Structure 1
């Protein structure tokens, strides 16, 4: 099963590059990207999972409704994107359930940072997908963690997909910077080995990030954003469907592995 997921959040990433951005612009940019994603998913008639912060959800009630009514899964990405307290695990679950009318069973920590599985269980989540089981300089070294799903503290852990053997990450930056043919080859290798693919993206990738003065992003972040990203994702989904790989939400995936 292909697990396409999108971390939809207030677009605060420019702060990491010493740029200021208003809250209104943070919401507006992520909103535009989320609409582009939903349009693509509608076009291909595939389902995905949206990991959403409460801050963003409160500002896009119409899109939360569209996500759930389209059959996509809503999951928690925390209360805020750049502030975390343990109590936010339960608070975000409760608030997202209130805003969506749907049960929230999954969690992904902002920036794939570590999170205590005991606290995830206590907050009532079924699964956690906050692990990128590879090495990223300055971020994390997770070579010691299983590449594929496993259970810890009664919570199903579903790491982001990395290739077999060398653990090359198939996350959003790889998708932007590798030739699409190479990315497809890695995705096919991983799918054949693991029988599923867990890849994640963000709404702001589907907007134009080339204004260096405004955002401060290096070339590897800006590459293939905006319309180029829409076209790239369109081709990728079309290719996955041509391989007859089924798409599904995390909740649907968990049902298949529990049988």
Structure 2
């Protein structure tokens, strides 16, 4: 089972690298990227999960409606992308439900940072997908965490996929930097081991991020962005479909575990 997910948010990453980017630019870039992505998903008729901040959903209502009308799942990525309080777990869920008309069942913490599972349960979520069970220098060391789905505090935990043995992460940066054929081999081995593949990306990856003066992003972030990313994702989905892998939303997958 292939579980593709996309964290749709205000594009604030340049701020981490000392670059000013207006809120309008942050939104325009993420909206443009989300529409590119939705075009790919429409082409292949696959359903995915979008983890949205309330800020993005409030300022991109047409895109949110397109997501809903296309049959994708909407889940919570918090209220803001760069600011978090435990109260946002419930408030973001409530706001997104009002905006979308959907029952918001899942949560993902921005930047895959730690979050209290008891608070996740209190807020009423069915699942949490906020753990990358690997070591990422400067970010986190989750080598002691389960690499496959499990339950904690009554909430299903769905970690991001990693390779079976050395826990090589299959997250968005790996997709940008590995040769696509090698990424596909590792992805298939992970899916064989776990019975599913849980991968996450961002809409701004589908826009050109190569302008260092404007964005200040290192090469390993901007590599294969924009048109190249669109082409890679298109090829990757087609490859998995050719191999007869089924796709579904995360909540649909979680339902099969209950």
TM-score range relative to shorter protein: over 0.9
2:8 paired with 1:8: yes
Equivalences for residues 109-124 of structure 1 within 5 A: 109-124=109-124
Q: Deviation at 1:33?
A: 0.2
Give the TM-score normalised by structure 2: 0.99
Separation of aligned partners in 2, 1:104 and 1:251: 9
Partner of 1:26: 26
Partner of 1:96: 96
Separation of aligned partners in 1, 2:31 and 2:62: 10
Partner of 2:44: 44
Partner of 1:57: 57
Give the TM-score normalised by structure 1: 0.99
Partner of 2:225: 225
Which 4+ runs in 1 deviate beyond 3 A?
none
Q: Deviation at 1:257?
A: 2.0
2:173 paired with 1:181: no
Q: In the TM superposition, what whole-angstrom CA distance separates every residue of 1:105-126 from its partner, at most 9, and x where no partner exists?
A: 1000000000000000000000
Q: Which runs of 5+ in 1 are unaligned?
A: none
Q: In the TM superposition, what whole-angstrom CA distance separates every residue of 1:140-186 from its partner, at most 9, and x where no partner exists?
A: 00000000000000000000000001000000000000000110000
Partner of 1:78: 78
Q: Secondary structure at the match of 1:18?
A: coil
Separation of aligned partners in 2, 1:219 and 1:105: 35
Separation of aligned partners in 2, 1:130 and 1:216: 26
Separation of aligned partners in 2, 1:147 and 1:254: 16
Q: In the TM superposition, what whole-angstrom CA distance separates every residue of 1:73-114 from its partner, at most 9, and x where no partner exists?
A: 000000000000010000000000000000001000000000
Separation of aligned partners in 1, 2:232 and 2:257: 30
Separation of aligned partners in 2, 1:233 and 1:64: 21
Separation of aligned partners in 1, 2:65 and 2:95: 14
Matched residue pairs, number? 258
Separation of aligned partners in 2, 1:183 and 1:256: 27
Separation of aligned partners in 2, 1:139 and 1:182: 24
Q: Deviation at 1:256?
A: 1.8
What value does the CA root-mean-square deviation take over the aligned residues? Answer: 0.5
Separation of aligned partners in 2, 1:256 and 1:89: 25
2:230 paired with 1:236: no
